[in-house]
Structure 1
Amino acid sequence: MNLVHSTEGLRYVLYVNDRSLFGASHLLPMLQMNSGRLVGVFLPSKKRMQIFNNVGQTMAPQSRGVVDRIRNRISLVLRKRPQDAPKPRIMAPGRFDVVTVCEQFGIPVHIEDDVNSRSSLKTLAALRPDVVVSGGYIQVFSEELLGIPERLSVNCHPSSLPRYRGRHPHYWALWHGEASTGITAHVMDARVDAGPIVHHQPIKILDSDYYEHLYIKINAAVPSVIRAIDSFVSESKVAQEEASSADESYFSEPTDEHRRLRWHELDASGARNRIRAGRAFVEDESRRVFITTANLDLDESTSSRPGEIVRCGRNIVVATQSGCLQITELEVDGHRLFASDAARFLNLRPQACFGM
């Protein structure tokens, strides 16, 4: 690939999953690049999404706050469009209509069952891209696809590569109690989420961050990453080599066993990390009870057995393998309840076992 030629009129093509806010949030900053222009957007078809969802579902509901933030930023740009241009629509659940936005800017959208098919590769080649950017796309690109762009293909992955390759890296970062994560833009090769580093945007994880909070931070950082890619291409920079493979890790779709709270196997910090990551649950008789927020109970010293309810009041305090957890909110039968209300509804009492 030629890395030294004029950046005037560079042609970018974007591959995103428009059902993911991480993917969709790449669109606006790519409309504002300095080094070139967006000439095409590829989206997965319903058929491709069904294949993807058969492997696993997204871990947590999309944040309405993220949707509103993206919508407001897009509206600032669209104010410059003709008065009769249609406004971008919010698509339930939690997505804005990428197709409508692209139509307003005259950008062709290609919805594909398989981006590695002969017809899709022909469509991409006809766009004569200099740079391909992938933001949360749900299919591994073939070497033939990666060879079409004149300059390079870049993937934006929401982790500090080479750690947390694979699916839902922000979930796993919380699950493991990490203090930081990031978004890594890297040159794509035949491997998954691997290749020389174009840019790394660090993101701090606070102890108070849950899945939704971290997801908001990740989406808010996407424009900075796109600007860094823009600068990288326009200044013909050289990508950095990957970090040592000794640091790498790969994770797939979380399962029920990753979300299940087994009090006798977890200390209080480990249990809370699973809760922060999302959809952590216990099984109480015939129903699953999801614990949505909790804190470490630093004041409680107990000899209670793991899983035993130490105290019920405003909060539910449960003993773990080591230490106690103070549960503040739960989800029961689809309803989110404060701990005191959930305790009454589930008839929880001190010294009883919470969860099987």
Structure 2
Amino acid sequence: MSSQPTAVVFAYHNVGVRSIKTLLARGVHIALVVTHEDNPAETIWFESVAALCKEHGIESITPADPKSAELMQRIAAIAPDFIFSFYYRHMLPVDLLALAKRGAYNLHGSLLPKYRGRVPVNWAVFHGETETGATLHEMAAKPDAGKIIAQTAVPILLDDTAYEVFGKLTVAAEQTLWYALPGLISGEYKALENKLSEGSYFGGRKPEDGRIDWSQSAQQVYNLHRAVAPPYPGAFFEQSGHHFIIQKARLSNLPAGNLPTGLHVVDNVALGVCGDGKALRIIELHCDGKPISVNELKQLTGAA
């Protein structure tokens, strides 16, 4: 067995960048990186795996289909010790995973078995969780279903947005991988069962899923806002013939009185009144694609 293990890495996003750096720091030779072409329709607020590979002289490719015969042949020729997936957006076929002589591992952004599947950070915030984390696990036929190698938890504070939690998870992912790698490389590690019956699976989210239902409780609406706040598409609603997107908000202590649900201006404060009689204090709001001031909002809503 060579002293320097070889890996093929599937990676994207900040977790991909930090994890590749962690592999290099632990002395893993990365023979090939498979990443994604950036989508011009997507807000690219994260670091580039392709740019990192260029900086380090690592070959990177962006095949549209990770199930292609050409990619299989390429990885088979490398005969890697490990295959890693770090925020890569496609499932990898089992026959590809089998090409890794010493195992195939994925970093997932939740405390498995909770929040298996897509966009786990956004779902955890949406459901009002108070903690989440990063999990390194064996890859299997089902998504996020393999045995657990290591986990690191992070808190979700009351006002944390998904973007803020994702920043914590990027660090947690790096820590999880850093401390797990010596055991993986030496073969001396203990895998834990991933008890799927105790967890949950969630699919992807679309921008339309950010539509606000003001009849819900203020906490539910606030959780939705936090889950999809910028740089994600944002929680939105229509009122008085205009399209609004909440950029920044907090739960309000101001009494909503007997106001109907929806957007109001009370004492020069923009409020989103909810079904439980409580409200969100809206700090930054866009109307029809542009920022709107409280004074402008007063004119729109007819507030005194």
The TM-score bracket by the shorter chain reads 0.7 to 0.9
Specify which of 270, 273, 287 is matched with residue 319 of structure 1: 273
* C-alpha separation in 2, matches of 1:116 and 1:324: 49
Specify which of 47, 51, 67 is matched with residue 95 of structure 1: 47
* C-alpha separation in 2, matches of 1:123 and 1:138: 20
Structure 2 alignment gaps of length 5 or more? 229-233
Tell me the equivalent position of 1:184. Answer: 135
1:202 aligns with 2:153: yes
Cα pair 1:159 1:165 within 8 Å, conserved: yes
Tell me the equivalent position of 2:191. Answer: 239
* C-alpha separation in 1, matches of 2:182 and 2:135: 15
- Per-residue CA deviations over 1:310-344 (Å, capped at 9, x if unaligned) read 6151x212321112221111122333455x25524
Tell me the equivalent position of 1:108. Answer: 59
Q: Which amino acid aligns with 1:239?
A: A
- Per-residue CA deviations over 1:11-67 (Å, capped at 9, x if unaligned) read 1211013xx333333222222114x32222112357xx69xxxxxx86xx454xxxx
Tell me the equivalent position of 1:22. Answer: 15
Shift of 1:196: 0.3
Cα pair 2:240 2:301 within 8 Å, conserved: no
* C-alpha separation in 1, matches of 2:291 and 2:163: 15
1:263 aligns with 2:256: no
TM-score (normalizing by structure 2): 0.88
Q: Which amino acid aligns with 1:176?
A: H
* C-alpha separation in 1, matches of 2:290 and 2:47: 23
Tell me the equivalent position of 1:153. Answer: 104
| SS of alignment partner, residue 288 of structure 1 | strand
* C-alpha separation in 2, matches of 1:342 and 1:220: 41
| SS of alignment partner, residue 300 of structure 1 | coil
| SS of alignment partner, residue 38 of structure 1 | strand
| SS of alignment partner, residue 25 of structure 1 | helix
* C-alpha separation in 2, matches of 1:25 and 1:337: 37
* C-alpha separation in 1, matches of 2:138 and 2:146: 5
Cα pair 1:166 1:252 within 8 Å, conserved: yes
* C-alpha separation in 1, matches of 2:194 and 2:68: 30
* C-alpha separation in 1, matches of 2:181 and 2:6: 11
Tell me the equivalent position of 2:4. Answer: 9
| SS of alignment partner, residue 169 of structure 2 | helix
Question: Structure 1 177/330 Cα, relative in aligned 2: closer, same or farther at 3 Å?
Answer: same
Shift of 1:261: 1.1
Specify which of 64, 73, 76 is matched with residue 125 of structure 1: 76
* C-alpha separation in 1, matches of 2:5 and 2:208: 47
Q: Which amino acid aligns with 2:223?
A: N
Question: Structure 1 14/341 Cα, relative in aligned 2: closer, same or farther at 3 Å?
Answer: farther
Q: Which amino acid aligns with 2:23?
A: M
Shift of 1:226: 2.1
Question: Structure 1 299/101 Cα, relative in aligned 2: closer, same or farther at 3 Å?
Answer: closer
Question: Structure 1 30/290 Cα, relative in aligned 2: closer, same or farther at 3 Å?
Answer: same
- Per-residue CA deviations over 1:211-244 (Å, capped at 9, x if unaligned) read 221122122323212213312313421211113x
* C-alpha separation in 2, matches of 1:203 and 1:28: 21
Q: Give aligned pairs, total.
A: 297
Specify which of 250, 256, 278 is matched with residue 295 of structure 1: 250
Question: Structure 1 112/62 Cα, relative in aligned 2: closer, same or farther at 3 Å?
Answer: closer
Cα pair 1:311 1:318 within 8 Å, conserved: no
Tell me the equivalent position of 1:334. Answer: 289
1:347 aligns with 2:300: yes
Q: Which moved more, 1:186-195 or 1:291-300?
A: 291-300
TM-score (normalizing by structure 1): 0.76
Structure 1 alignment gaps of length 5 or more? 1-5, 51-56, 64-93, 352-356
Tell me the equivalent position of 1:89. Answer: none
